Chain A
């Protein structure tokens, strides 16, 4: 992740265009499980970056800015999906071991909204719990609870008990 502070903890201004080019595909991939639709995910990703650009004077120093963009994109994708037919599972673009990846996708797609957001931010984007708490607007303890429930559910749905 692109960070808003350097190794010494000093604030570093993040360049929007650089962030956009480097993180666009990660945000798209994080948004995709919400809707299972490439078109919706791409539109939502672009929209979320546009909203971030609008607020850039406030966001450009924040270490959690990518998390903010991801959660915004996920919310847009969810809202858009509600007005369309339920997503159909499409295996195109999934590379090798399609079945295994589809199992993960299906398990993630069945998670409640907040659990899915926490899972993507923590396990895909490697965000620390305190930063996830900031972008999701809740305490670290609540994030832990979301992740705990998500882990149990994912493990169960993927047929492998969580240890």
Chain B
């Protein structure tokens, strides 16, 4: 098969896929949501910097556990394990399932949803990308988190190029496979791998690499989630909030913490997207797979977030 023939076959195969028509309204709505989310994140950061104190966010929102007495029977459910995802422990009480989650910044929350949606069954994952930065250095910004080794996909080689001391153990430097970055610092936190892309190698940037290794720490929470901590000058979540994903049949759910400064409700599932703030801490953004919005309506009506413990609050 020649190059031209390969090109023709690829074009024929992809061109024959029936494609939907562009809808300017959909992309406009998504762009507005992205801008709003970015603005809210920025305003939260600005307020925190301006007043110079950490606001006890939990005090701003009542944890209305008593309003929703749901007798729960502990039961560990299995689930499909995929990259960054793991089967979480859930508690099922008939038509309701509760899942305790830990966000990558250490905040915790209990979420409850209709059991029939099986969100936990299809895996819970932290966002593959966690933002972190140290001003003036050549590493970061998007860190890559995974429950599986990413050797061969992101980095490769006969051995690590260098080793550095980190707060939670040795941090290795590997050569990138030629994709996103030339090098990767590879951190291990129990079952998790965390990769920081770097543009400099050990010969030209050993001081930067050592600083990154020493400034990024993390651990695995008791329920299996990854928690990431930055030691100054490293700032984690510098360009995006801590996020979690829940997978369900035909539904994709994104939870982010610390992104709500005002309550907002887009509970109308008819356009395939809902976007809801729970109190002032947790935002739930969910979209339905294609046009199946029936389950999204159920999620809109029955999804609950309770017992939110933002980072810094005692449990």
Interface residues of A (CB under 8 A from B): 17, 20-21, 24-25, 28-30, 32-33, 37-40, 42-43, 46-47, 49-51, 53-54, 79-80, 82-85, 92-97, 100-101, 104-105, 108, 112-114, 119-120, 123-124, 136-139, 142, 145-146, 151, 154-155, 158, 160-163
CB closest residue in chain B, given A142: B178
Q: Is the CB of A82 within 8 A of B6?
A: no
Q: How far is A113 from B250 in the complex, measured between Cα atoms in Å?
A: 23
For A139, what are the chain B residues with a Cβ–Cβ distance below 8 Å? 178
Q: Using Cβ atoms and an 8 Å threshold, which residues of chain A touch B179?
A: 113-114, 136-138, 142
Nearest residue (CB) in B for A81 is B82
* Contact status B30-A79, CB under 8 Å: no
Residues of B within 8 A of A84 (CB): 122, 247, 249, 252, 289
Chain B residues lying within 8 Å of A24, measured Cβ to Cβ, are: 19, 21-22
4 additional contacts, CB 8 Å, given A38-B20, A53-B31, A142-B179? A25-B20, A120-B14, A123-B7, A145-B178
- Which residues 1-42 of B sit at the A interface, judged by CB distance below 8 A? 1-3, 6-7, 9-24, 26-27, 30-31, 33-35, 38
For the A-B complex, the count of residue pairs with Cβ-Cβ distances under 8 Å equals 150
User: B246 on the interface (CB 8 Å rule)?
Assistant: yes
- Contact: B35 with A158, CB < 8 Å? no
> Could you say which residues of chain A place their CB within 8 Å of the CB of B170?
none
Tell me whether A155 and B1 are in contact (CB under 8 A).
yes
**Which of A20, A49, A101, A158 sits near B12, CB closer than 8 Å?**
A101
Interface SS of chain A: helix
Query: Cα distance A52–B287 when bound, in Å?
Result: 19
B85 at the interface (CB under 8 A from A): yes
Selected from B1, B178, B288, B292, the residue in CB contact (under 8 A) with A138 is B178
User: In the complex, how many angstroms separate the beta carbon of A157 from the nearest chain B beta carbon?
Assistant: 11
Of chain A, the residue at the smallest CB distance from B179 is: A114
Smallest Cβ-Cβ distance to B125: which chain A residue: A83
**How far, in whole Å, are A83 and B125 apart by their CA atoms in the complex?**
8
- Contact across chains for A83 and B128 when beta carbons are under 8 A apart: no
The yes or no answer to B153 lying at the interface (CB within 8 A) is yes
A7–chain B nearest beta-carbon distance, Å: 24
Given A39-B291, A123-B7, A104-B13 contact (CB < 8 Å): yes
Q: Which of A54, A85, A94, A162 contacts B122 (CB 8 A)?
A: A85
Query: Across the interface, which residues of A come within 8 angstroms of B6, CB to CB?
Result: 123, 151, 154-155, 162
Question: Are B1 and A54 in touch, CB under 8 angstroms?
Answer: no
Asked if B83 is at the interface (CB within 8 A of a chain A CB), the reply is: yes
Is B267 located at the chain interface by the 8 A CB criterion? Answer: no
Interface size on B, residues (CB 8 A): 57
State in angstroms the CA–CA spacing of A15 and B9 once bound together. 31
Contacts of B128 in A (CB 8 A): 79
Chain B residue at minimal CB-CB distance from A160: B1
Min C-beta distance of B267 to chain A, whole Å: 19
A-B contacts, 16 of them at CB < 8 A, read A20-B22, A25-B21, A28-B19, A29-B14, A33-B14, A39-B290, A43-B287, A92-B18, A94-B17, A104-B9, A113-B153, A119-B10, A120-B14, A139-B178, A142-B178, A162-B1
Whether, in the assembled complex, B245 has its beta carbon less than 8 Å from a beta carbon of chain A, the answer is yes
Given known pairs A53-B27, A136-B179, the reply for A108 and B10 (CB within 8 Å) is yes
B259 interface hit (Cβ, 8 Å): no
CB distance from A8 to the nearest CB of B (A): 29
- Closest-by-CB residue of A relative to B9 is A104
Q: Are A20 and B24 in contact (CB under 8 A)?
A: yes
> Which chain B positions have C-beta within 8 A of A160?
1
Query: Please, which residues of chain B bring their CB within 8 A of the CB of A79?
Result: 128, 245
Cβ contacts under 8 Å, A46 to chain B:
23, 26-27, 30
- Taking a contact as CB atoms closer than 8 A, the residue among A30, A85, A112, A138 that contacts B80 in the complex is A85
* Cβ contacts under 8 Å, A39 to chain B: 250, 288-292
The yes or no answer to B110 lying at the interface (CB within 8 A) is no
Closest-by-CB residue of B relative to A150 is B6
Asked whether any CB of chain A lies closer than 8 Å to the CB of B90, the reply is no
